[in-house]
């Protein structure tokens, strides 16, 4: 991805150099403007080894980035200089891609670039909240405190995702096995039954004939159906990767029974945790609100929150602006209102995050407890229906023989 160099003015009146990695100049300029900076000069940077390396995989996992920040915090707490800290971490870094990135960051810092600018020059490779938090720590001289707060934020998000994934493993395996069993019955067992009934020469019930026809259709066109499913999957994925498609898909996900409520609360928790982390690090409200809205993975919630930035910039209270989005719960709005009235917004945001973290875990447990029997009932009903369709002729033949 190309690298672009900007000479910009900060809200504090400073003129600094920023590097942004983006697909084109327009995207890079939009990113700089979103950060509240004024562009004086822009140019494309020279290609580096990073630009020539393949992009087939992520540079680092969330867990690797978490480990990196834990190590960096420990080294900073020990009083080691940043350059020396990077040297130590590079010695034991086994991931070639991440090692290259850390090497470039270290070289930028050596040349006089601020640590926050070195990280932000990689564009969306690192979360926007990270570079902003580091910048706040540089200005306040409390880099250790900023890293500690960011680690708390990151651990909360990572642990919640692990709990969600862990809770969905069993239902996913159950559904997969059930679908596999139904597929085998339709493509293998049912055709065998049809051959068996053909020897009697009797007329089969309409429902049985329908199931036999469906089984042979699926068996003879299995590759076609599989290809259609794969194409549909990639088409939906491509559509959801666009701005309008992603927003519509994320809005649809919020309306899914059971899961929608969890996703909604997770979006609120992401926003309040990000905003609280930024404000506690000394970031002004408007820039913190801009970055916190981007940190929400649900694009619909993110866009609704981003739409109130101008209102807050013009002096409207945060709680009233959030209330107008219609995506922030009444509880969160009320707690933020109390925080603004008492001057304890950061504490209230932390309380909202902790409340929804516990709420998500409780709802997740209830959802899994409800989904498992529902899957068993539905799949059991489908299998019972298949068995009924193909044992029904036996019952009819038996009753005819008795008569």
120-138 tens-digit pLDDT: 777 778 887 888 888 878 8
Query: For residues 145 and 280, what is the distance between their CA atoms, to the nearest angstrom?
Result: 10
Whole-number Å distance between alpha carbons of 286 and 303:
15
- Averaged pLDDT of the chain: 81
Percent of the chain surpassing pLDDT 90 = 11
Give yes or no for residue 12 having a pLDDT over 70.
no
For the cut 60, the answer to whether the pLDDT of residue 254 exceeds it is yes
Give dist(CA 169, CA 81) in Å, integer.
44
The more confident residue out of 82 and 203 is: 82
Contacts for 80 with CB less than 8 Å, ≥ 6 apart:
88
Please determine, for residue 333, whether its predicted confidence score (pLDDT) is greater than 90: yes
Its pTM stands at: 0.69
* Model confidence pLDDT, tens digit, residues 297-322: 888 998 999 889 889 988 899 999 99
What does the alpha-carbon distance between residue 318 and residue 333 come to, in Å, rounded to a whole number? 9
pLDDT at 17 > cutoff 80:
no
The yes or no reply on domain 1-46 and CATH 3.10.20 is yes
Per-residue pLDDT tens over the stretch 174-196: 888 888 888 887 777 777 777 77
**Comparison of pLDDT for 60 and 366, the residue scoring more:** 366
Distance CA 150, CA 128 (A): 12
**Which region among 29-33, 76-80, 335-339, 387-391 has the lowest average model confidence (pLDDT)?**
29-33
Domain 266-348 belongs to what topology? Answer: Receptor-associated Protein (1.20.81)
Domain residue spans of the chain: 1-46, 266-348
| More confident call, 45 vs 58 | 45
């Amino acid at each position: 991805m190309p690298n672009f160099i900007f000479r910009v003015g900060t809200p504090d009146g400073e003129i600094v150099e920023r590097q942004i990695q983006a697909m084109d100049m327009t995207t890079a300029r939009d990113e700089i403007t979103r950060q509240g900076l004024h562009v004086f000069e822009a140019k494309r940077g020279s290609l580096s080894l990073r630009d020539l390396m393949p992009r087939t995989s992520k540079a680092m996992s969330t867990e690797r980035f978490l480990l990196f920040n834990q190590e960096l915090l420990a080294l900073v707490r020990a009083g080691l200089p940043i350059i020396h800290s990077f040297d130590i971490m590079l010695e034991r870094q086994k991931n070639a891609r991440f090692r290259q990135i850390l090497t470039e960051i270290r070289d930028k810092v050596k040349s006089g670039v601020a640590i926050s600018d070195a990280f932000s020059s990689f564009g969306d490779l690192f979360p926007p909240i990270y570079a902003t938090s580091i910048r706040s720590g540089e200005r306040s001289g409390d880099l250790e405190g900023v890293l500690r707060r960011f680690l708390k934020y990151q651990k909360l998000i990572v642990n919640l995702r692990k709990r969600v994934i862990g809770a969905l493993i069993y239902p996913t395996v159950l559904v997969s096995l059930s679908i596999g069993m139904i597929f085998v019955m339709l493509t293998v067992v049912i055709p065998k039954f049809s051959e068996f009934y053909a020897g009697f020469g009797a007329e089969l019930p309409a429902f049985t004939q329908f199931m036999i026809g469906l089984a042979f259709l699926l068996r003879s066109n299995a590759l076609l159906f599989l290809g259609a499913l794969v194409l549909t999957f990639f088409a939906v994925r491509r559509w959801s990767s666009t701005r309008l498609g992603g927003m519509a898909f994320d809005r649809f996900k919020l309306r899914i029974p059971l899961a929608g409520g969890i996703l909604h609360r997770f979006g609120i928790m992401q926003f309040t945790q990000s905003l609280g982390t930024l404000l506690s690090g000394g970031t002004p409200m408007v820039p913190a609100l801009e970055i916190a809205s981007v940190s929400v993975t649900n694009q619909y919630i993110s866009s609704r929150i981003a739409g109130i930035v101008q209102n807050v910039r013009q002096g409207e209270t945060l709680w009233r602006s959030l209330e107008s989005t219609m995506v922030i719960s009444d509880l969160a709005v009320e707690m933020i209102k109390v925080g603004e009235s008492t001057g304890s917004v950061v504490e209230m945001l932390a309380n909202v995050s902790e409340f929804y973290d516990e709420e998500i875990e409780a709802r997740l447990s209830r959802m899994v407890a409800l989904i498992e029997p529902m899957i068993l009932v539905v799949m059991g009903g489908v299998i019972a229906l298949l068995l009924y369709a193909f044992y029904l002729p036996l019952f009819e033949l038996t009753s005819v023989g008795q008569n």
